[in-house]
Amino acid sequence: MHTYNLHGITLGFACTDGPLRDLVDDTMAYKGAVLMPGGTPEVILDLAPAAEGITVPAEAARITTHEHDIDILHTGATYFLTYGEDTVVRIDAEDHRATFVWGPDFRGPLPRHEAAIAFYLIIITLVILVRYRGWYALHAAALEHDGVGVLLSAVSGSGKTTTTLNLIRAGWRYATDDTVLMRPTEGGLVEVISYRKAFSLTDETLALFPELSGRSWPRPPGLRPKWRVSVEAGFPGQFVPHLIPRFVVVPTIEPEAPSRVEPMPSREALLYLISQTGLQLTPDRALNARHMEAMGVLVRQCTCLRLKAGPDLLEDPARTAVLLREAMSVQSQEAS
């Protein structure tokens, strides 16, 4: 058993040496986890070759199909991921354990496509397993300015990563540009931890940040045409693994308007944030109720803002940090 520490969450992987073990090591490094000796895993993924296949019950209900043809089904708290006819993952969520059976295409050196499918299977499995441990995934960047945590959540293509990098350039600390895991604390607040330390950047985004360009970056896991970038290489000492959010910022693109920051109604922000979770992955009413309760706590502890980004931010990217600092200062003064 190999155990990894992901900012306080212990993940266990049972797998033999070889391409799958290398894939696990690479996936965990991409997420920001570190190999640790010993420890009791909170979830276990058994990737070792199984002696027997896994039969998906006929009554299993389909939840959804992942964009790369991975079907997700369930019967109660038992989930199944299937790819093709021979590759199946059985997730016993309440036992916090998953068992993988690999088809013949995964039993040797892994070409990029097969490695990407194995990566997606592992990541989807982890999201389901940690949810039953009380950690909920949210598609958002997480940053910190003067000790104040900020979540920046936006759909793909809305400039979230570019905005995040502009804020990092202005001295903000960062946890991630893409995904966090969130859960309530004993103190009654919601905390978030980084669920992806490395950034995935396009050529166009890299060109905007000479601090990061000019290096030979590898491809990230998966199939998207991006580069796996260590932001620490260009902005050392600014990574923070966890934080307590106090602001939620939702950026939108305003093609003709000057950029501005406006208050966002809490209910509207909550509905938006719900759309950025994988809530539909687990049709478990009790579990989803706990998830929704955590989302409600998150929104209540935060001031919600909408960043309407106009073309002036392209001409003066540093203005992003100025706008947000001013808006956060005003909102903090009004709250006090």
| Residue-level pLDDT at 15 | 87
Q: Let me know the angle formed at the C-alpha of 95 by 93 and 99, rounded to the nearest 5 degrees.
A: 70
Q: Which two tokens mark 312? A: 């002036």
- 98, 122 in Cβ contact below 8 A? no
Residue 129's nearest CA partner among 90, 102, 98 is 98
Helices and strands counted in the chain (H then E): 8, 21
Contact, 273 vs 179, CB < 8 A?
A: no
8 Å CB contact between 181 and 137? yes
Tokens at residue 46, please?
């058994």
Say which DSSP state 240 is in: -
Q: Which residues pair with 180 in a beta bridge?
A: 138, 194
pLDDT of residue 336: 58
Q: Which one, of 276, 187, 194, 199, lies nearest residue 243 by Cα? A: 194
Contact 131, 287 (CB under 8 A): yes
The answer to whether the predicted template modeling score (pTM) of the entire model surpasses 0.75 is: yes
**Structure confidence at residue 325 (pLDDT):** 93
The separation between the first and the last C-alpha atoms of the chain, rounded to the nearest angstrom, is 51
Angstrom distance (rounded) from CA 237 to CA 259: 30
Q: Return the amino acid letter for 195.
A: Y
The tens-digit pLDDT sequence of the chain (336 residues) is 899 999 999 999 998 778 899 999 999 999 999 998 877 999 999 998 766 788 999 999 999 998 889 999 999 999 999 999 899 999 999 999 999 999 888 888 888 999 999 999 999 999 999 999 999 999 999 999 999 999 999 877 667 899 999 999 999 999 999 999 999 998 999 999 999 999 999 999 999 999 998 788 998 888 788 999 999 999 999 999 999 999 999 998 888 878 999 999 999 999 999 999 988 889 999 999 999 999 999 999 999 999 998 888 888 889 999 999 999 988 776 765
Distance of alpha carbon 43 from the chain centroid: 17
CA distances from 335 to 109, 246, 302, 328, 330 (A): 57, 12, 11, 10, 9
Q: How far apart are CA 163 and CA 152, in angstroms?
A: 9
Nearest to 324 by CA among 205, 190, 171: 171
Pairing of strands 34-36, 141-145: unpaired
Q: What is the pLDDT of residue 48?
A: 82
Residues 40, 59: Cα–Cα separation, whole Å: 34
Bridge partners for 6 per DSSP: 9
